[in-house]
Structure 1
Amino acid sequence: MIFLNPCESWTPPPRRGILAVGRPRILKRDLPSLIFGASKSAMRHLTCSLVVLTLSAMISLPAVGQVVRASEFDALRFRSIGPANMSGRLVDIAVVEMDTRVYYLASATGGVWKTTDNGVRFTPVFEGEAVHSVGDVVVHQRDTSVVWVGTGERANRQSSSWGDGVYKSMDGGESWTNMGLAESHHIGRIVIHPDDPDVVYVAAQGHLWGPNPERGLYRTMDGGESWELVLFSDPMTGAVDVAMDPSNPDILYAAMYQRQRRPWGFHGGGPGSGLYKSTDGGDSWTRLTTPRLDNGLPSGEVGRIGITIYRSDPRIVYVSVEQGERFNASTAYEQRLAGIYRSADSGETWTYQSDWNPRPMYASQPLVDPNDDQRIYMLNSYSYSDDAGVTFTQPREHRTHGDDRLVWVNPDDSNHVLKLDDGGLGISYDRGDHFLYHTALPLSQYYHVSVDLAEPYNVYGGLQDNGSWRGPSATYRNEGILNEDWTRWGGGDGFLSLVDTTNNRILYSESQYLGLTRWDMETGASRDIRPNQPEGFIGARRNWTTWPDLDDPFQELGNAMPPGNWDGPFIISPHDSNTLYAGLNELFKSTDRGDTWTSLGDLTSGMDRRSLVIMDQVPDSFVLSLDDGIPYWPTLTAIAESELTPGVLYAGSDDGMVQVSTDDGATWRSGTSRMSSAPEMMWVNQVHPSKSVPGRVYVAANDYRNDDYNNYLWVSEDDGTTWRSIVGDLPLERVVRVVREDPRDPDVLYLGTELGLFWSTNGGRNWRELRGGLPTVAVNDLVIHPRDNDLVIATHGRGIYILDQVNALQEMDAGVARSDLHLFSIEPAQQIRYRGEKAHTGNMIFEGENPPAGAIVDFFLGGNGATVDFQIRDSAGNQVAEHTMEGATGVNRWVWDLRHAQSSRSGTGPLVVPGTYTVRGSMGSASAERTVEVREDPRLDFEPSARSQWTATLLEVWGSRSVARTLSDDVGAQADRLDADTDRLDVDAATEEVLRDLARKTGELSSRLNRLYDSIQSWIGPLSADQDGQRRFLTEMLGKLREEWEASEGHF
């Protein structure tokens, strides 16, 4: 076992010695590795990091010297559609105690959000930094402009993301500086000295998937300019919690935690774990969990520990301690040897209160009410005790999420409680029994995304701990896409959802471990269609269940789930919608929509994970939190069928296997051995056959579960016989999640990674980052809509984003890069009539963005950008609209609203008649043209002749309105000049009265024509008698008033 010494007392080296990590401004993220010894991820790439920074910002297109920068595509903006009604995993909160309306929320994978009005509105304040995952956020209570963020969530889930150290803001979250500790990866807690904001302690957990030296408890005395490692055990043990005595900041308690994940399991404890105390600000420490002290704390191997100090009397301290055989959510109570401990003498002695400590490896965080030492809140499962932790109550009426992360209690009002969980934020004013649930934070953690062909199309996908959902890509209301537009189709942890390609009533949704359900979306009827394994399989595979005797066959009857991956794969055959393929460890096929299944064989290595080591030992059933989250291994993780050739199947697994069959699964051959630089135990995230090129298939893989953060991406042109890497110049350590080939141009690729979205125009030789307003976020899946040509991405922390019309990405090439002006092709545009549907919503509401209302005109400008003039002409060559805009170098976007517009003074005119129009752009001597098809609102049904007549009438009234507006402006301007002329020597009273009367009449005429125009525009069809009478009367009046003005104009 990798373990140095579970020291009872440990004094670190002198301050500012070799462990005092300086923080130079250049390459400061690499310095900790240079000081402590190279981690295999940081040192491997140190020498080329500056080169990669240059390449990622500036990429040359093939066969041309022209350079196109990634930033030159920023005009292509993604829009967020949510959802927000289920929010997402929140892990920490920092409340400004002098003004509790102000607080910061830390999201597991969605950055940090701030409110200044008690949660009515939130603003993302940490979303453009290098990482997205957050473990802790803290604000200094005296100088509230000082905020610290520790990146990398502190949970130990198989889906947990990592960070790159700690960040500091000196302006309340407006800007951030990375202060180092990059290889800590996961920050458990940060505490700040109450009187000196430059003194900060950081509990660094270290890498989750492997050993590394940058872990333990760090201290800075200079605001993060340098760091001291003041508490360290071994490269497998980090600090998960630290608490400071509120009456004496030199008294500290720290929890050390030894743990490691591997692809095949989890080990959640060991001799490195323990509780420590310092009375000199961290200069020296005493281990409290040791048999030598005989103080009431457990002295054997322990796991995760949580700490809370009673604010009103800091002598009272509570800790939660993990200990006992296979301590997880399903462990019998008699096996729980540890739980809640209480000290009333500053940690000298402890009393065992109870065994309550649900799923400790995940959260295990107690909180004592700052005003009542008997009230203890406990997580992972929200509960509270009113007898100092002896008994706990789980309130049943809180109606918030059941997987909880943190509780905050207002020190001035214990009735005011904030609860953070995997469903977001709950606000209580009755001491945590009932909650106002916040539904405006778009923090949903998607695993997969798919779309249908409805108009507008729907988006489907599954979320971490929040089920599977369907929602529209657009609505016909002004308010956009609201929470009420999303419907849930399946619970648990949601993953892939697919609509039957021939019957849009049928939906397949999936929960964890391949929990497949077939739905009728009209009736809500559902059927469980998960494939099942033969009797005896669970014991034969030596996967732990909740039964102690693996040889007992009764344990499998209705108890043990089939051996599926957390994110088990399934597909609908592109050649027959009745045929499904689904992967456990074996690949299964169904030809009756999942009612029955046939095995096509075990496509994993079949390795016995009980022969594999975790933390240098082969785990047994006594290991703490054994294999939490990974009940089965090895399993299939990716399957696909060629869309070009039926029966050509591909499969990938979590033990590094890639298999290919050309005979519908009758025989298989391995493709892994021919993949250059493929890690032995890599995780095959996706297999993606080309829709355009026979034999072409892509594999997206990662190996971070073996603590390797390199990028892995291959393509084969011969059905997996040979492979070549297409990582190209992708920035280092992005960690590949998904690749998709463009359906229109097979050389165009889209790549989702743990740290953003990338795009290639040359088959993966070169990559550009696609930012377009996206926050830093993991892109777990993506799809190009086959009809609308939109790029839809599923992020693991910020919901669904859509980039409307990706034609510019598909058509960008060397010729475009050399041009002065280039117009990209334009997708058909619909004339949508939007209306406001909501009355009084307040501000605590999420409104997803609708697509741009009109035709999206994307164009490229070379040089330094310039003014571009646009003219829109109908099929007869008549100009119907014009527009002028300033363009920047690179790709620009203008949206024509599909209306007539001749000049800025005439205002926006009526919608044009559906048909084909020509868009012409001019810039000096350069010009370019494209056509666009304008389509009617799909909800409307009437004869084209009626539509043309209605448009003609609107144009007539619009013309009259424009003339009336001009007339009113001219008359009004003359009246204003008259008012400015105080002498009025040349205008008599009668003439002045004529002018003022004319100004009143022209103003009234303009207003009435505006109302008539709006009235006619709101309904397509013949004019009513009243409308027609107004039209004739107002037109006649316009003529008379023009004559009056022309006749009297010479008098002024």
Structure 2
Amino acid sequence: MEPTMMLSLSMRYRPHFTVLKMVGVLLFTFSTPMSAQLLPAHLDGLSPREIGPANMSGRLVDIAVVEMDTRVYYLASATGGVWKTTDNGLRFTPVFQDEEVHSVGDIAVHQKDTSVVWVGTGERANRQSSSWGDGVYKSVDGGENWTNMGLEESHHIGRIVMHPDNSDVVYVAAMGHLWGPNPERGLYRTQDGGESWERILFVDPMTGAVDVAMDPSNPDIMYAAMYQRQRRPWGFHGGGPGSGLYKSTDGGDSWTLLTNAGLDNGLATGDIGRIGITIYRSDPRIVYISLEQGERFNASTAYEQRLAGIYRSDDRGESWTYQSDWNPRPMYASQPMVDPNDDQRIYMLNSYSYSDDGGVTFSVPRDHRTHGDDRFVWVNPHDSDHVIKLDDGGLGTSYDRGDHFLYHTALPLSQYYRVSVDMAHPYNVYGGLQDNGSWRGPSQTYRSEGILNEDWNKWGGGDGFLSLVDTTNNRILYSESQYLGLIRWDLETGASRNIRPNQPEGFIGARRNWTTWPDLDDPYMELGNAMPPGNWDGPFIISPHDTNTLYAGLNELFKSTDRGDTWTSLGDLTSGTDRRGLVIMDQAADSFVLSLDDGIPYWPTLTAIAESEHQPGVLLVGTDDGLVQLSTNDGRSWMDVTSSIPGAPDLMWVNQVHMSRAIDGRMYVAANNYRNDDYENYLWVTEDSGRSWRSIVGDLPPDQVVRVVREDLRNPDVLWLGTEMRAFWSWNGGRNWLPLDGNMPTVAVNDLVVHPRDNDLVLATHGRGIWIFDQLNALQEMTPEIAMSDGHLFSIEPAEQIRYRAEKAHTGNMVYEGKNPPDGAIIDFWSAEDREMAQIIVLSEEGVEVASMELEAGRGLNRAVWDLRHTRQGAASESGGFSRGSRGPLVIPGDYTVRLSIGSIIAEERVEVREDPRLAFEPEVRAEWTETLLDVWDLVDQAQQLAQDVGSRTNRLDMGTGSDVSDSLEDRLRDLERTTGELVSRLNRLYSSIQGWIGPLAADQEMQSLFLRNKLAELSEQWEELEEDLPR
């Protein structure tokens, strides 16, 4: 590599500098100097880095395998887009990550024209955390490019089926909105590749299609499952009279309801929940379904009376036999799969289970060392031993019919709910994952491979949510599982204590809002359980004034002054509404409601807590029933400020409350209302401690659905926003917003935090893990004046001379490597226009130039990275036969001046260069070492130039363009070429050896240095003599 300053810049570059990456361009227009309207050209180059993790991946929901080459398949993630492999899962590439939505319900590939792939967006599970889509997408080039083909308001797609002989004929099971009625649901068909659609099966605005299956021997024979369901903030009803199983024998032109009491065909009738369909490929007369029905459902499988479970037909659905009641948690993934080569082997979800007697009995293996909550199973039609299992932790592949699995650990699909950081160096990132516990991982490692799965540690199980560290010692960690399952950990010893408030009888594993049925004849349920109610994502905080003080929210707010050992109630801050009086789909909750309130065992509850950093005991809380309450006296009294928030919808979900660190009395409320089928953006600020509020949605694009807002720690006018689809930046308090897309995929940003020391923005995504924007200075310092100037150099964070080391060997290719931060000082600057040349020079404290570069700059924000080394152009051989030399020596730690010359602007900023924090040396030892390296580096440069000169002449001989030379002269020339090449190699090895240890040279290094210096002089003299003898 050439001994120059390593640079990351935004546009083209001079040939003797190395380009790492483009950072970005902004376009600004301003109506007045004080009022800015930001018009983004793009910020695609402002690239965050992805750090994972991937060993605990996220929910995968569907797979589409190319059967003629099973090494090729596509994976559908619940909230992380679509991924493709061409080598049987060794490596994956995201192929659906830049569209407007991230959630996928189903994916299908045509088995004859395998370039045709369809994606149905919006997952088919019905979780309280399920995201939605915007219709169906089509690719005709194997996933390289996608086109939205309509059905935008379907929101959730249950299944896509293509005609086996005509890829233009496609059937889509559209489930419709989860949180409310809408007409765009049911079974749709296109016969022209998606240019037009016809709805061929419809029941009502509450009932959609969840599954469709086609007879492989006769595409005109089809089965469709209709599903009536709805969620509301307080609960879920998972069935009704609209649900049912249908059959068509004319390609969908007409349908017969099979779950019809008048047919007396063996199927259950009446109110039905979710239905899944599978057809036996080797004999399509055999059809299996799973069907949800029963009374007194109050747990995953706890029906007291039911005809739910597995049914089999041997005559294409004319008659059915009830096989068993196995149907775990049907709301989630009620789906049987029959082995295409064995009609007795049935795989069943939600829990990975299988039957070898046609569904009469099931085995639930728990020793396969994969995740236990499963979403889909694929069986190779050519080899039933080859099974692929999709679950909440990722992907498993089996070659022994599902007994043992290879778990793929390079898919970064983790679904974070919350994120926090500590003050270690480098700092750690903490957070909780959907159904995968709570984890800690480093923001940076000292290995060149980056951040690996093994760097992440698990601290807590269940569904993970917020984790907070006592940053006064970085040792005490508080983590939580669902419903505020709060635990205090000692990170050094691993000791832990359950500290959930108001729970003298211990943590209740059954966590249900409705009691079990003590009297089977009693038609009424009782609200409550032995455990006090808590939200799925229960809030808690550490007081900024005293790290022994905690606040935590159930339906009441609790305070502890002894780190959670004891708690005091500050009162019930919800509305106290009894949800037994609330209806869903015109039905009140009773023992016959299917999947009753699955995922919402408690309501109403607290969802958000904040305490002022200016005054202890000034508290702001939010709830899941739409309330915002404020106390100025540590909870002794409360003021409901909801009515003063303009446009706040009833029963909105207050996702977060936030208090300004810079300005006393400034508070923020981030809310959403999609649980009431309202996808508008809701975001407010108060400047007077809650007396009046104003919206700061500004020009935020519609229907982003706000999750979190944070005020910047350095500039209180700068806001960072996380939404269901992406992150945003505002430079003027929320009047204007710009998406922080960069290289980020479309993904939900559930939480974010700015590191108070390192000034990084850490994003917790619900589907693509953790992402970090390094050095926020440019976005914090941007002003209208800067944007209208010819150019500007932003301040630069201190930079460390990290000695990265390769630690791993022979890992193979199934390895996830999260990125470390840029290796050096990040230099951000503004250019008012495209320029052919901008110059950056780095000067020592004495004013001596140590590094420089010239680059072309694009209009807007540009970024370069100085690798903290001396630079000089190397002497590369035209033949390419020699290295251009090692990188220059590291500069001596200290303060340096970065000077930018661009247009009419010459700007300077200071940057502090710090030694690797693991190293400690006397300054004079460090300085002497650097001078020695500079001396040897100069020898390397001279030797390279000599080798290049000699090599250039031998090239002329090889190409026949040189003058005739005698054999003896040619022998001398080629011998000198070999010798100078060896000299360059030895000098580079010496240079590398000296770099490896700070201090005086070892004895052999001193001898090598003297010998090689003398040899360089000798060879240079030989070249001078040879040049005189060679023809011109």
Given candidates 713, 717, 724, the residue that maps to 2:683 is 713
Describe the superposition over 1:798-842 as per-residue Cα deviations: whole angstroms up to 9, x where unpaired.
Answer: 000001101111011111211222111110000000111111011
Give the match's secondary structure for 1:292. helix
Describe the superposition over 1:391-418 as per-residue Cα deviations: whole angstroms up to 9, x where unpaired.
Answer: 0001232111111100000001000000
Q: Within the alignment, does 1:974 sit opposite 2:943 as a pair?
A: no
Q: Within the alignment, does 1:804 sit opposite 2:778 as a pair?
A: no
Cα–Cα, structure 1 residues 928 and 551, in superposed 2: closer, same or farther, change >3 Å?
A: farther
* CA deviation after TM superposition for structure 1 residue 1039, in Å: 2.3
Q: Distance in 1 between matches of 2:717 and 2:448?
A: 38
Q: Within the alignment, does 1:63 sit opposite 2:63 as a pair?
A: no
* CA deviation after TM superposition for structure 1 residue 927, in Å: 2.5
Report matched runs for 1:149-548 at 5 Å. Answer: 149-327=119-297, 329-332=299-302, 334-532=304-502, 543-548=513-518
CA contact (8 A) 1:146 1:170 kept: yes
CA contact (8 A) 2:485 2:507 kept: no
Cα–Cα, structure 1 residues 63 and 838, in superposed 2: closer, same or farther, change >3 Å?
A: same
Which region of structure 1 is more displaced relative to structure 2, 759-768 or 317-326?
317-326
Q: Within the alignment, does 1:756 sit opposite 2:735 as a pair?
A: no
Q: Distance in 1 between matches of 2:1012 and 2:654?
A: 72
Q: Distance in 1 between matches of 2:961 and 2:449?
A: 50
CA contact (8 A) 2:119 2:137 kept: yes
Cα–Cα, structure 1 residues 558 and 226, in superposed 2: closer, same or farther, change >3 Å?
A: closer
Q: What is the match of residue 976 of structure 2? A: 998
Q: Within the alignment, does 1:943 sit opposite 2:913 as a pair?
A: no
Describe the superposition over 1:678-711 as per-residue Cα deviations: whole angstroms up to 9, x where unpaired.
Answer: 0011000000000000000000000000000000
CA contact (8 A) 1:456 1:473 kept: yes
Give the match's secondary structure for 1:816. helix
Cα–Cα, structure 1 residues 768 and 62, in superposed 2: closer, same or farther, change >3 Å?
A: farther
Describe the superposition over 1:727-781 as per-residue Cα deviations: whole angstroms up to 9, x where unpaired.
Answer: 0010000000000000000000011000111110000001111111000000000
Which region of structure 1 is more displaced relative to structure 2, 904-913 or 449-458?
904-913
Given candidates 996, 1002, 1015, the residue that maps to 1:1018 is 996
* CA deviation after TM superposition for structure 1 residue 967, in Å: 1.2
Q: What is the match of residue 129 of structure 1? A: 99
Describe the superposition over 1:273-306 as per-residue Cα deviations: whole angstroms up to 9, x where unpaired.
Answer: 0000011111111000011001100112110000
Q: Distance in 2 between matches of 1:1041 and 1:536?
A: 83
Given candidates 654, 665, 678, the residue that maps to 2:648 is 678
Q: Within the alignment, does 1:561 sit opposite 2:531 as a pair?
A: yes
* CA deviation after TM superposition for structure 1 residue 653, in Å: 0.1
CA contact (8 A) 1:636 1:654 kept: yes
Q: Within the alignment, does 1:733 sit opposite 2:703 as a pair?
A: yes
CA contact (8 A) 2:290 2:311 kept: yes
> Residue type of the partner of 1:855?
A
Q: Distance in 1 between matches of 2:289 and 2:217?
A: 19
* CA deviation after TM superposition for structure 1 residue 196, in Å: 0.7
> Residue type of the partner of 1:63?
T
* CA deviation after TM superposition for structure 1 residue 550, in Å: 12
Describe the superposition over 1:42-74 as per-residue Cα deviations: whole angstroms up to 9, x where unpaired.
Answer: xxxxxxxxxxxxxx9976456249875434432
Q: Within the alignment, does 1:952 sit opposite 2:931 as a pair?
A: yes
Q: Within the alignment, does 1:1039 sit opposite 2:1017 as a pair?
A: yes
Describe the superposition over 1:1001-1047 as per-residue Cα deviations: whole angstroms up to 9, x where unpaired.
Answer: 32222211111000000111111000011111211222233233334
Q: What is the match of residue 9 of structure 2? A: none
Q: Distance in 2 between matches of 1:331 and 1:999?
A: 80
Describe the superposition over 1:202-234 as per-residue Cα deviations: whole angstroms up to 9, x where unpaired.
Answer: 000000000000000001111111110100000
CA RMSD of aligned residues (A): 2.2
Describe the superposition over 1:578-616 as per-residue Cα deviations: whole angstroms up to 9, x where unpaired.
Answer: 000000000000000000000000000111111111112
> Residue type of the partner of 2:894?
G
Describe the superposition over 1:495-544 as per-residue Cα deviations: whole angstroms up to 9, x where unpaired.
Answer: 00000122211100010000000011111111100012689999xx9941
CA contact (8 A) 1:57 1:768 kept: no
CA contact (8 A) 2:478 2:489 kept: yes
Describe the superposition over 1:613-647 as per-residue Cα deviations: whole angstroms up to 9, x where unpaired.
Answer: 11122221221011100011000000010111111
Q: Within the alignment, does 1:81 sit opposite 2:57 as a pair?
A: no
Q: What is the match of residue 43 of structure 1? A: none
* CA deviation after TM superposition for structure 1 residue 885, in Å: 2.1
CA contact (8 A) 1:468 1:495 kept: yes
Unaligned runs of 5+ in 1: 1-55
Q: Distance in 1 between matches of 2:70 and 2:521?
A: 57
CA contact (8 A) 1:535 1:556 kept: no
Which region of structure 1 is more displaced relative to structure 2, 788-797 or 806-815?
806-815
Describe the superposition over 1:133-152 as per-residue Cα deviations: whole angstroms up to 9, x where unpaired.
Answer: 00000000000000000000
Report matched runs for 1:94-133 at 5 Å. Answer: 94-133=64-103
How many residue pairs are counted as aligned between the two chains? Answer: 992
CA contact (8 A) 2:422 2:429 kept: yes
CA contact (8 A) 2:294 2:303 kept: no
Q: What is the match of residue 668 of structure 1? A: 638
Report matched runs for 1:778-927 at 5 Å. Answer: 778-905=748-875, 907=885, 908-927=887-906
> Residue type of the partner of 2:454?
E
Q: Distance in 2 between matches of 1:204 and 1:631?
A: 28
Report matched runs for 1:12-91 at 5 Å. Answer: 60-61=29-30, 63-64=32-33, 69-91=39-61
Q: Within the alignment, does 1:964 sit opposite 2:943 as a pair?
A: yes
Q: What is the match of residue 694 of structure 1? A: 664
* CA deviation after TM superposition for structure 1 residue 972, in Å: 1.8
Q: Distance in 1 between matches of 2:503 and 2:705?
A: 33
Normalised to the residue count of structure 2, the TM-score between the two structures is: 0.94
Cα–Cα, structure 1 residues 498 and 536, in superposed 2: closer, same or farther, change >3 Å?
A: closer
Report matched runs for 1:567-646 at 5 Å. Answer: 567-646=537-616
Q: Distance in 2 between matches of 1:209 and 1:571?
A: 30
Give the match's secondary structure for 1:135. strand
Cα–Cα, structure 1 residues 395 and 212, in superposed 2: closer, same or farther, change >3 Å?
A: same
Give the match's secondary structure for 1:70. coil
Cα–Cα, structure 1 residues 450 and 266, in superposed 2: closer, same or farther, change >3 Å?
A: same
* CA deviation after TM superposition for structure 1 residue 925, in Å: 3.7
> Residue type of the partner of 2:1010?
R
Q: Distance in 2 between matches of 1:263 and 1:66?
A: 38
Which region of structure 1 is more displaced relative to structure 2, 992-1001 or 666-675?
992-1001
Cα–Cα, structure 1 residues 344 and 988, in superposed 2: closer, same or farther, change >3 Å?
A: closer
Identity of aligned residues (%): 76
Give the match's secondary structure for 1:508. strand
Describe the superposition over 1:542-595 as per-residue Cα deviations: whole angstroms up to 9, x where unpaired.
Answer: 94133446999xx99997432000000000000000000000000000000000
Q: Distance in 2 between matches of 1:753 and 1:845?
A: 30
CA contact (8 A) 1:103 1:114 kept: yes
> Residue type of the partner of 1:238?
G
Unaligned runs of 5+ in 2: 1-24, 876-883
Give the match's secondary structure for 1:206. coil
Cα–Cα, structure 1 residues 597 and 1019, in superposed 2: closer, same or farther, change >3 Å?
A: same
CA contact (8 A) 1:72 1:889 kept: no
Give the match's secondary structure for 2:818. coil
